[in-house]
Structure 1
Amino acid sequence: MPVLPDRRRGPRRQSNGAAAAFLAPKVLLFLAFVAVPFVYTFLLAFQRGTLLRGFTFVGLDNVRSLLGDDLFWHTMKNTALYLVVAVPLNIVVPLLVGVLISSALPGMRVYRSLIYIPSLLSIVATGLIWKVLIDPDIGPLYGFFNRMLGWDLPWLSTGTSAIVLIAVISVWSGIGFHSIIFMAGINDIPQELYEAASIDGAGPVRSFFSITLPLLKPVIQIVLVLATIASIQVFDMIYVMTQGGPGTSTYTVMWYIYQNVFGGGSVGYAATMGVVMLLVGLVISGFYMRLTRTDDSTYD
């Protein structure tokens, strides 16, 4: 019995070819800007040298030097302080704002637009605005606290206060973006759940902790990971506001990496720090995933 040709092979091959043609640019871009630099960073961690003089293989010397580097551990402490301040604030404040802007009050679209304005500003513009606000000579915020209230706040004069202030400013800068994420999650919760809770006598506070917060766990997980990654990678606000000063009191890991790469240090040493921070970020993100893990049956 003769075998009839499969007429479906032609269109299927054409569709596969079209899909490959569409995916090829994205795959090339991913390889060029993500995969290759990612692998090259790990290779650089076993070398030492500068951008101008080339590199030599040193094995695990960079790791051993890193373990005994007091300045690196100082930058780790500053980064941890920034993370401890910024991450909780990036959850609590945008969550409360998200609850407010998800309501159907008159003029809420205007309030949502106003809340999002800080997120539209560049980090450089945000840093310069806040530097003017706390300027000892012309800063209105400095004048309000130091002259009117008599509070002699250190602002950027000490490392701890500068790190905390920069963390608060970063939260202010990203409040619109994170609030919109929480608002979308809140609007996705079925209203029938709140109606049933109100019939059972639950008030707004009880409904928030019994319905809103548990069902927002996946959203909280996303914001936690995003805020943690941003905190570990904090650099631009440090560059604009303190330049790592006074002295090295506001050095973060990313600022230290920048100084090693473009300040005459070892690129391989900087790559080693980058790999360490990648592993730290993975561990913290994995902890968040486990902490905010949600049973799928919750949504049934």
Structure 2
Amino acid sequence: MTTTHSPTGTVGGSGGTERDAARRAAERGRTRRRLYQWLFVAPALLYMLGFFGFPLVNNVVMSFQQYTPTTYFTGEAPFTGLDNWRAVLGDSLFTDAVWQTLLFTAGSLLGQFTIGLGLAVFFSRRFRLSGPIRAVLLLPWLVPMVVSAVVWRRIMDQDHGVLNSFLSVFGMDAVPWLASPSVALLSAVLVNIWIGIPFNMVILYGGLQEIPRELYEAASLDGAGPWRAFRSVTLPMLRPVITVVLVLGFMSTIKVLDLILALTGGGPADSTQTLGTLTYQLSFLQLDFGQGAVVGNVLILISAVFAVLYLRVNRADLGKGK
């Protein structure tokens, strides 16, 4: 009795072998693509590790050491544990600097964004000379911050400043803009608002140009007035741009140093001392680099928390969009 082999079984075995080979080839292709992707990203990763990662790790380590100018000659930086952290976090000046940093950042962002958005909406309606006027409004953004601070320091001078001279025309008393602890921080916020308005205006103006005009026409046909159209069309469509503006504004404002140093130097009576200026004072005036590193790490941590929250919100928005 002879045995015959089923053609179907042979074909099935051959098909299975071909599928396995195709699967292995696909896996090799995916592995190769991942390898190419990492090779393209590798230069940027190496750059970030070298120029951002190493200083960051070194700053964290320094906050646990007694790091002084002598260290640069002897190379000795004794490990002090949490002594630097206790000294900084237990100092009332640090607490004041945290609150003043938050007030300075929140006030600056609110003023810059509100005025910048208003100007962006205003210039989105084309009229004669809108281009030249927008170009003039960009000047505060183009001038170096130290130069702006020095100019405003002269303008806000209590005795000879232009601002008080202008107020005297209306019979108002001179305001100690930079000499009073109760007014100096507000003055710094106003100057920073003036500097940041052009950036907000330009970015938001670009976002407004991307909103389809048809949406406003449809809202008008539905009986929506200007304010209703702004709330129902402009703000929702502008939300991604608003997020970017606020995040970038936060990152640049919370670490402001040169503006306050040139404007008030952290005074009077430490009323404009922020985390940035406190880091500078501890590290380069008192030459206590360990405690300066502690304040710097706190500043980095605050920025990192804000960045993580931004990424989570952005990811949630993308998920809703899908």
> Normalising TM by the smaller chain, what interval?
0.7 to 0.9
Note if contact 1:194-1:207 (Cα within 8 Å) is conserved in structure 2.
Answer: yes
Mapped to 2, the partners of 1:290 and 1:151 lie a distance apart of 49
Structure 1 residue corresponding to 2:219, chosen from 173, 197, 200:
197
- Deviation readout 1:179-223 (Å, 9 max, x if unpaired): 111011111111111110011111211111111011211111112
Partner of 1:244: 266
Give yes or no for the alignment of 1:81 onto 2:100: no
Partner of 1:39: 57
Partner of 1:267: 289
Mapped to 2, the partners of 1:293 and 1:101 lie a distance apart of 32
Give yes or no for the alignment of 1:133 onto 2:155: yes
Shift of 1:103: 2.1
Normalised TM-score (structure 2): 0.80
Normalised TM-score (structure 1): 0.85
User: Secondary structure at the residue paired with 2:177?
Assistant: coil
Alignment of 1:157-196 (within 5 A): 157-196=179-218
Mapped to 2, the partners of 1:166 and 1:193 lie a distance apart of 40
Note if contact 2:158-2:177 (Cα within 8 Å) is conserved in structure 1.
Answer: no
Shift of 1:230: 2.3
Q: Which amino acid aligns with 2:234?
A: T
The structure showing larger relative contact order (alpha-carbon pairs under 8 Å, at least 6 residues apart) is: 1
Note if contact 1:94-1:179 (Cα within 8 Å) is conserved in structure 2.
Answer: yes
Structure 1 residue corresponding to 2:230, chosen from 208, 228, 232:
208
Alignment of 1:140-155 (within 5 A): 140-146=162-168, 148-155=170-177
Alignment of 1:73-112 (within 5 A): 73-112=95-134
User: Secondary structure at the residue paired with 2:77?
Assistant: strand
Q: Which amino acid aligns with 1:42?
A: V
Note if contact 1:50-1:264 (Cα within 8 Å) is conserved in structure 2.
Answer: no
Note if contact 1:224-1:288 (Cα within 8 Å) is conserved in structure 2.
Answer: no
Note if contact 2:157-2:176 (Cα within 8 Å) is conserved in structure 1.
Answer: no
Q: Which runs of 5+ in 2 are unaligned?
A: 1-24
Q: Which amino acid aligns with 1:40?
A: N
Mapped to 2, the partners of 1:184 and 1:168 lie a distance apart of 25
Note if contact 1:260-1:267 (Cα within 8 Å) is conserved in structure 2.
Answer: yes
Shift of 1:249: 2.2
Shift of 1:30: 2.8
User: Secondary structure at the residue paired with 1:48?
Assistant: coil
Q: 1:152 to 1:142 in 2, by over 3 A?
A: closer
Structure 1 residue corresponding to 2:78, chosen from 48, 56, 59:
56
Mapped to 1, the partners of 2:112 and 2:314 lie a distance apart of 16
Q: Which runs of 5+ in 1 are unaligned?
A: 1-5
Q: 1:291 to 1:34 in 2, by over 3 A?
A: closer
Q: Which amino acid aligns with 1:209?
A: R
Q: 1:297 to 1:273 in 2, by over 3 A?
A: closer
Shift of 1:123: 0.6
